[in-house]
Structure 1
Amino acid sequence: MKKSISIMFLLVLLLLSPIFAAGGKEAAPVAANGELSGAITIWHSFTQGGRLDTIQKTADSFMQLHPKVKITIQTFSWSDFYTKWTTGFASGNLPDLSTALPNHVVEMIDADAIIPLDNLVDSMGRDRFAKAPLVEMTKDGKLYAIPLYSHAQVMWYRTDLLKKYNLAVPTTWDEFYNAAATITKGEGGAVYGTSFPFGTNDMMGTRWLNFYVRSAGETLLTKDGKANLTSKAAIDGIKYWVKMYQDISPKDSINYNVLDQATLFYQGKTAFDFNSGFHIGGVNTNSPALLDHIDSAPVPSVSKASAKAGYETSNIPMVIWKQSKHPEISEAFIKHLYEPQNYVPFLLSVPVGMLPALPEIAQDPAMLNNPTVVKFANSLKVISDAVGEGTAVGMEYGPRPEAGLLTSQGVIETMFQNIIVKGIAVETAARDAENKLNDLFETVQ
């Protein structure tokens, strides 16, 4: 069953379910002596060892401070988390607190599944937070999620290969194609210039098409909430990536997800890739000798005149679920997590990969003096600039549920496969995909 159908079904359940019909919960009172007491469950998607460990340590220290509190942590990949929360919404099997993706938050708000966090943010100091993430997570004047960290998609490249072939860092899509083609040909199949991923179980095809369309001054989701796959910019972008796949990319990339794609760069098998600062840790784990030969730059544009710093930013938040029996414990844990002695080690578990939601933390000596932060100062600046320019895919005009469907249903990825595998004309496949997305969007209007 498609996720969009599930969402529509869950929204119907919302009207019927006694779990949510009673409306929002007020925070349960603490004991008379002010001591927190109760058990909460936290879901997060920090599957890598460093982040997972720091969150667990933060929970352990919180429980030491509050002996009557029990915290259970469960970890799911982002794709598994989406399935977990949408099915859990129907059954009432949801956590007290969780991480989320920006597009998830919009669906959660529409499902009336999470509570506003304005009081929490105000108590922590609203002006301490970067403004853009707060706007992205606000609907009808209420803030429904608290930003934990930010990152942005930038272009990663091999400095040694550009030097070997006397290539400049690409700033336009034509330059990018030429550089990638030169390296692919020169390396004789040992290294690809780049790889174009569009497996239908991920959003990579959508992401990469979004890069092109945004760089042409358009968006995949229009201001009035319609899909944009048939404009000249979108058609040009589709044709561009099809050509990249046919001429340069490994043919297995037709089924790649984000990890498959990233692993090629980690292992030194691609010269260019698009991702966040998480690429530094991936290269360090897989091919540490390459750390001296990678750097990043802004994503290319259609022309030098239209060059911008960034197109896709992810502001990863935390949410408190409406069915929680102890929202007061979740709020206290969030405050504890943002304490510098906990927050800085969390961010530095993936240095340069996670930019702080509290700008003041960027000036913390531990952040400034971290060896990876020092080594990749240029990449940190490129990513920081991109964070200020971009939004989540489909949320360029503010939070809306169509953005979640745009990235979660595999429609654009299927479109690319239909063009390449079935030989369907670009214009036909684009029109069919656009119509399918617009039909899906009607289920959430």
Structure 2
Amino acid sequence: MTFSFKAAALQSSAAVALLAVTGTAVLADEITIAFGSVGRDTEIMQELWKPWEEATGHTVKLVTMPSSTTDQFGQYRLWLAAQNSDVDLYMSDVIWAPQLADHFVDLTEAAKDVAPRHFPAIIESQTVDGRLVAMPVFTDAPALYYRKDLLEKYGKSVPKTWEELTATAKEVQDAERAAGNADMWGFVWQGNSYEGLTCDALEWVKSSGGGQIVEPDGTISINNENAVKAIELAASWVGTISPEGVLAYQEEDSRGVWQTGNAVFMRNWPYAYGLGNADDSAVKGLFDVATLPTGQGHDTSAATLGGWNVAVSKYSQSQEAAVSLAMYMGSEEFQKGNAIEGSKLPTIITLYDDADIASAQPIIPRWKDVFLQAVPRPSAPTRVKYNEVSSLFWNAVHNTLSGQGTAAENLEELEVMLEDLKGGDSW
């Protein structure tokens, strides 16, 4: 299904500002955007940009980036450090823009009327020192995948807390093994020593009242009793409801176990939903998703925020047009088309109740409750030091999971290292 966004583009103040009295653009610019495409992303984006191009007279040129996001981020840093004026906009991972904030235009004023329509956690994640440095385009957040057939078989409900998940996973796992499935595990997740573990562990800690590692005001909060309890509980899963090999698992490793029918629960991102329901999947039609559990005694879930946003380079020679395009990509019209045509999850809350999106992509409305409880990684307060912060955190957690020190010992040491890294009153 194809939608027309031309009227919306013409009505936007950013677009109108670029039009002469005659209705044609005063100056026609070629706006260059750096973007790492996957699948049909390039084709879809080029179609979605057309109404903006027609309304403003400008054109959009795509610079395709490497498939490796690490390489992509490295290239961005090189270009921006050189004050490259050839790229006007950068499609940015949710944790990148805060690290590169000094190179990006402040979008706060341009987005003042539309920012409240987006998930608050996403706006927060892209705001540095009161400056909105990137406009949300589409998002991502994980959920709890569960085998509804097995829960029904054993009379169990979807767990609300991590403690309930631990007990239910063990009971169903043991019963299935006794029934002959020796390969069944209770819970698979991402335990390797990498950014994915930061995401998983942040969810355990935040949902247990242990904070966000580093708070939005820059305060280091990770060394606390609730965080210790959350990570110790996770450590108890290894070798009991989760295989020992989970300490080397990334997303695809977890999905491999899950999709062959050998797990009761899985923590993973939305991409695994469609794959799990593919014709070659052993769990097709047998599972559902829910918000991630909370810690005992706490009532707020936490799903680590992912997704992509668009930032305008300070070195662009066409900043006004670039800001206009950024606002358009953050609009309801653009995001609706991207959801329907590209299965991309919107950042605008009301689109999760849109009938056209629900008809074309039934999975999307199911993620609304997940995003309402999303938590950003602390890239905004730690800025250029975020990668080191995350590395120190995931290593401390991985050490605990693998039995190299207790959570209390490792988080105390982590706090000291983070204080040294911070090196003063501010990051």
Same fold (TM > 0.5): yes
Measure, in 1, the Cα distance between the counterparts of 2:107 and 2:404.
Answer: 49
Pairing of 1:115-130 with structure 2 (within 5 A)? 115-122=105-112, 125=114, 128-129=117-118
Q: What's the C-alpha RMSD, in Å, of the aligned pairs?
A: 3.6
Task: Return closer, same or farther for 1:297/1:350 CA change in 2, 3 Å cut-off.
Answer: farther
Question: Equivalences for 1:311-390 in 2 at 5 Å?
Answer: 311-314=303-306, 316-337=308-329, 342-349=334-341, 351=343, 354-357=345-348, 359-370=349-360, 372-373=361-362, 376=363, 380-381=365-366, 383-390=367-374
TM superposition shift of 1:347: 1.3
Equivalent AA in structure 1 for residue 107 of structure 2: L
User: C-alpha separation between the residues in 1 aligned to 2:383 and 2:330?
Assistant: 31
Among the aligned pairs, what percent are the same residue?
Answer: 17
1:83 aligns with 2:64: no
Residue 59 of structure 2 corresponds to which residue in structure 1?
69
Alignment partner of 2:376 out of 358, 373, 392 = 392
| 1:176 shift after superposition | 0.8
Alpha-carbon distance between aligned partners in 1 of 2:106 and 2:61, rounded to the nearest angstrom: 22
> C-alpha distance in 1, partners of 2:166/2:126?
36
The aligned counterpart of 2:408 is 427
Give, as a single letter, the amino acid of the residue that structure 2 aligns with 1:90: A
Local SS of the residue matching 1:194: strand
Alignment-mate amino acid for residue 72 of structure 1: L
Residue matched to 1:6: none
Within 5 Å, give how 1:166-185 maps onto structure 2.
166-185=155-174
**What residue is the counterpart of 2:243 in the other structure?**
250
- Asked if structure 2 preserves the Cα contact closer than 8 Å seen for 1:394 and 1:406, the reply is no
Amino acid at match of 2:136: P
**Is residue 145 of structure 1 aligned with residue 134 of structure 2?**
yes
Give how far 1:113 is off.
0.6
TM-score, normalization by structure 1: 0.76
* Distance change in 2, residues 1:380/1:127 (3 Å): closer
Q: Which letter does structure 2 place at the counterpart of 1:418?
A: N
1:232 corresponds, among 225, 228, 241, to 225
Q: CA deviation at 1:130?
A: 5.0
Residues 87 and 273 (structure 1), Cα distance of their counterparts in 2 relative to 1, 3 Å cut:
farther
Pair 1:206-2:201 in alignment = no
- Separation in 2 of the partners of 1:35 and 1:316? 31
Per-residue deviation, residues 174-197 of structure 1 (Å, max 9, x unmatched):
221122223443244433222242
SS class of match (1:271): strand
**Separation in 1, partners of 2:342, 2:95:** 23
Partners of 2:300 and 2:157 in 1: CA distance: 18
Deviation at 1:318, TM superposition (A): 1.4
**Residues 164-313 of structure 1 correspond to what in structure 2 (within 5 A)?**
164-185=153-174, 186-187=176-177, 188-200=181-193, 202-223=194-215, 225-285=218-278, 287=280, 290-303=283-296, 305-313=297-305
> What is aligned with 1:37?
28
Q: 2:146 & 2:89 partners in 1: Cα distance?
A: 37
Deviations 1:146-175 (A, max 9, x none): 122344332121112222333221112222
How many angstroms apart in 2 are the aligned matches of 1:226 and 1:246?
A: 35
Q: Distance in 2 between the 1:249 and 1:106 partners? A: 35
Q: Deviations over 1:217-238 (max 9, x none)?
A: 2214354634444322222222
**Matches of 1:391 and 1:428, distance apart in 2:** 25
**Secondary structure of the corresponding residue to residue 166 of structure 1:** coil
Structure 1 unaligned spans of 5+? 1-28
- Cross-structure match for 1:5: none
TM superposition shift of 1:319: 0.8
How far the C-alpha of 1:392 sits from its partner, in A, is 0.3
Q: Describe the SS at the equivalent of 1:71.
A: strand
Output the CA distance in 2 between the equivalents of 1:39 and 1:406: 34
Partner of 2:8: none
Does 2:424 align with 1:439? no
User: Given that residues 25 and 57 in structure 2 are in contact (C-alpha distance below 8 angstroms), is that contact kept between their aligned partners in structure 1?
Assistant: no
TM-score with structure 2 setting the length:
0.78
* Structure 2 gap ranges (5+): 1-16
- Paired amino acid for 1:368: A
